[in-house]
Structure 1
Amino acid sequence: MEMTAIVLIVGFFVFLLMNVPVSISIGLATMIVIVMNIDLIPAVTTVAQRMAGGINSFALLAIPFFVLSGLIMGRGGIAKRLIECAMALIGALPGGLALVNVVSCMLFGAISGSAVAATSAIGSFMLPEMKKAGYDPNFSAALTAAASTTGMLIPPSNILIVYAIASGGVSIAALFMAGYLPGLMVGLALMLVCFIVAKINNYPLSARLPLAIVFKKVLAAIPSLFLIVLVIGGIVGGIFTATEAGAIAVVYALILSVGFYGEVKLKQLPEIFLKSAETTSIVMLLIAASTAMSWVLSIESIPQTMSQFMLGLSDNPIVILLLINLFLIVVGAFLDMTPAVLIFTPIFLPVAEQLGMSPLQFGIMIVLNLSIGLCSPPVGAVLFITCAIAKTKLEAIIRPLIPLYVAMFVVLMLVTYVPWISEAIPAWLGF
């Protein structure tokens, strides 16, 4: 078993260092381990079967739907209206533009379910505006990267769907409801940092808008915000499943962006559909390859061995959960969220359950943890997008990221050790 784990881990990182794509690296490392035990042809067949079985899930159909709806909304002027709504409501507060950035990322992330989409859509508008107002471009870029990850927790979230599959049956609807409070807490923690930074640097205040204009901006954003009510309300009310909600989100996004706002033209749809297919194929290949690796981990009893090892380190649940979090933070800095969730959920979930943590709470913990990795160097995808938009270098935004990391880590610790934060809303709604 020890040799299998070593070959699997070393093989995976060797392929990564050779710039092999993550999904291919996972698949090749898995193949090598299986070839150590059986002949090549049966090994290839086994991996192919496990990969096909890994994506043969009705629940995963929600992912392409939410990816497509997010792309349509990113092109459909929804981000602009959400930003204008947030600006009207809180733009005149100290650090107003920074606060607007966080709220806009939270709202757009909740609607699109994608941190990358939120970074691109909100960052393209907010970063130039913040620079014009006198904000440090490096701080603005760091803030956008951190705030965009709130969409991983606030539903609808693709990564929560992936966790539901990896955990072996946690309700997607319950996970969606569990993500609300932690996601809002992360957003509020980031806003607190913004307020403090604005006071220290004496950033200028925006002019307070007349009430009539505030009302107009809020009214213009209501059709966009209604998507959250439609999707989550339908799931909570038992009207449709999460997968069906994804399809409804696509239809609503088309009506809104093509018909109501008119900012997406019919001739643009083929390009959007193609981009959606490309993004979905990348995600599905990651899921398929990670599922095959998880199967190898399972048959080699690596999760059970890891559980015994972790529980042997200490009999204090606080210490063990802290070690798991620190390990996952390091993993998140190098590995994409999807394979990280699929690979490490089967390993650490049994440990967490033995410590009395519910699969629901653990799911929110691991997604929040890996969200920190999403905006951490050297691999964090959103960092490169914000740096490109802000025209700054990656190393320049590390320092302004530190207080934002601290704020997110504090919320992570609260989610880890206070079950109520993750479980209160699902319990109240009867999930």
Structure 2
Amino acid sequence: MTSGVIVLIGSFILLLILRVPIALTLVASSLITGIYLGIDPAAIVQRMVGGLNSFSLLAIPFFILAGEIMNEGGISRRLINLANVIIGKVRGGLAMVNVLASTFFGGISGSALADTSSLGSVLIPMMRKQGYDKDYSVSVTISASIQGVMIPPSHNMIIYSTAAGGVSVGALFMGGLGPGLLLGFAVLVLSYVLAVKRKYPKGEPVKKEEIPRIVWEGLLGLLTVVIIMGGILSGIFTATESAAIGTLYAFIITFFIYREIPITRMVAILHRTFNTLAMVLFLIGASSAFGYLLALLRVPQLVSEGLISISPNDFVTILIIVIILLLLGCVMDMAPLILIATPILLPVATTTGMDPVHFGVLLILCLGVGLLTPPVGSVLFVGSAIGRLSIEKVSKAMLPFYGVMIVIVLLVAYVPSISLWLPSFFK
């Protein structure tokens, strides 16, 4: 068994070093190890197909499509305007608008990358024109965007649910809401403190006659989240059914109420959705085969025994898990890490008494922070590209934001009620 573990992990690391795409790396290392162990390659392929045989995965294409439709239809600008009405008048108001708009947009897109791309392309230039430092503008934008992976409907929660063996998607959505809003509030406070310290300008007041229209248009977009979460929590819909109905609502709002784009744009929207979906599903299938071999070689048990041998103290074990996740987030993207780390670390977490929902929320949060850290943080790269700054300069400006996010990570890790009180309340 030990030699099989070496072949599996060794081939995986080698292929990553050779810059083979992660999904192909997972497939190749699984096939190599399967052949070494004398397993029929057809069995590996069957595991890949079986990994996609999950009803909850049907929610992913609907959530991706809903986000693409709303983003294309001008929801970003409307949410920015809504946030500006609520909080834009104070000192550093535009930075705080940035954070609040990310909270709203995260509840529609479920993606930090989409959040940064859509809101950042509008808000970073606006902040520069009003006198904000460029590195500060980028830092606020990308830090606030991490709410998107925590606040429902996050398709990363669905991926974790599949990897964890069917943890309730509704419970995960509710579990991520509290930490996501807490993170947003912490970034909001830090943005205000830095704005006051650096004497950034106050926001411009909104004309009173425009407020009703701005609020109405913004709330229409946010109703997508209400439909999805309301349907799940009321028991009327499953997560998949809510995703489909939310997508239909997004389609109606975008093409028949906002009417900023012609319906012919659906072709491009579907094309982008299918591209994203193909990558996600291929990755899930590849990870299923890899996870099968991890279980066969008893890697989760070995890791659990190893961590417990370092210290039998649950406090220390949880801290080690957090450190491992933060370090892994620095070198690999979120979706593959969810699929790889869950079967290994979830058994370790449950030995400390951690609920699978709590662990899932902590996992997503830690890997979300990884999206902002070099060398492979995808959101960090996108924010730097939009702001036309080097990764090094943005990373330096991010230091206070990293500090705040680490505090939130530790609070979520050691105060389970932050993640579990909403699922418990609605249960």
Normalised by the shorter chain, which TM-score bucket? over 0.9
Q: Which of 76, 81, 86 is 2:78 aligned to?
A: 81
Secondary structure of the corresponding residue to residue 357 of structure 1: coil
Alignment root-mean-square deviation, CA = 1.2
Say if 2:396 is the partner of 1:421.
Answer: no
| AA of the residue aligned to 1:299 | L
String of CA shifts for 1:21-50, please: whole Å, max 9, x gaps: 1111111111111111116xx22x122111
Say if 2:123 is the partner of 1:126.
Answer: yes
Match of 2:33 in 1: 33
| AA of the residue aligned to 2:18 | M
Do 2:56 and 2:240's aligned partners in 1 also have CA atoms closer than 8 Å? yes
Q: Which of 185, 188, 191 is 1:188 aligned to?
A: 185
Do 2:4 and 2:37's aligned partners in 1 also have CA atoms closer than 8 Å? no
Alpha-carbon distance between aligned partners in 2 of 1:373 and 1:222, rounded to the nearest angstrom? 31
Match of 2:21 in 1: 21
Match of 1:12 in 2: 12
Say if 2:89 is the partner of 1:92.
Answer: yes
Alpha-carbon distance between aligned partners in 1 of 2:5 and 2:137, rounded to the nearest angstrom? 41
Deviates more, 1:10-19 or 1:177-186: 10-19
Secondary structure of the corresponding residue to residue 36 of structure 1: helix
Deviation of 1:219 (Å): 2.1
Match of 2:66 in 1: 69
Alpha-carbon distance between aligned partners in 1 of 2:341 and 2:161, rounded to the nearest angstrom? 13
String of CA shifts for 1:295-339, please: whole Å, max 9, x gaps: 100011111111111111101111111111111111111111111
Do 2:331 and 2:375's aligned partners in 1 also have CA atoms closer than 8 Å? yes
| AA of the residue aligned to 1:35 | I
Match of 1:321 in 2: 318
Match of 1:375 in 2: 372
Do 1:23 and 1:286's aligned partners in 2 also have CA atoms closer than 8 Å? yes
Do 1:87 and 1:100's aligned partners in 2 also have CA atoms closer than 8 Å? yes
Match of 1:241 in 2: 238
Deviation of 1:19 (Å): 2.0
Distance 1:46 1:70, change over 3 A: same
Alpha-carbon distance between aligned partners in 2 of 1:219 and 1:198, rounded to the nearest angstrom? 29
Q: TM-score, normalised by structure 1?
A: 0.97
Say if 2:44 is the partner of 1:47.
Answer: yes
Match of 2:350 in 1: 353
- Residues 205-244 of structure 1 aligned to structure 2 (within 5 Å): 205-244=202-241
Deviates more, 1:3-12 or 1:60-69: 3-12
Deviates more, 1:86-95 or 1:60-69: 86-95
Q: TM-score, normalised by structure 2?
A: 0.97
> Identical aligned pairs, as a percentage?
41
Alpha-carbon distance between aligned partners in 1 of 2:237 and 2:190, rounded to the nearest angstrom? 39
Alpha-carbon distance between aligned partners in 1 of 2:229 and 2:7, rounded to the nearest angstrom? 43
Do 2:107 and 2:222's aligned partners in 1 also have CA atoms closer than 8 Å? no
Deviation of 1:141 (Å): 1.3
Do 1:89 and 1:214's aligned partners in 2 also have CA atoms closer than 8 Å? no
Deviation of 1:271 (Å): 1.2
| AA of the residue aligned to 1:21 | P
Deviation of 1:53 (Å): 0.5
- Residues 207-356 of structure 1 aligned to structure 2 (within 5 Å): 207-356=204-353
Deviation of 1:212 (Å): 4.2
Deviates more, 1:209-218 or 1:196-205: 209-218
Deviation of 1:211 (Å): 4.3
Structure 1 gaps of 5+ residues are: none
Alpha-carbon distance between aligned partners in 1 of 2:134 and 2:160, rounded to the nearest angstrom? 35
Deviation of 1:2 (Å): 3.0
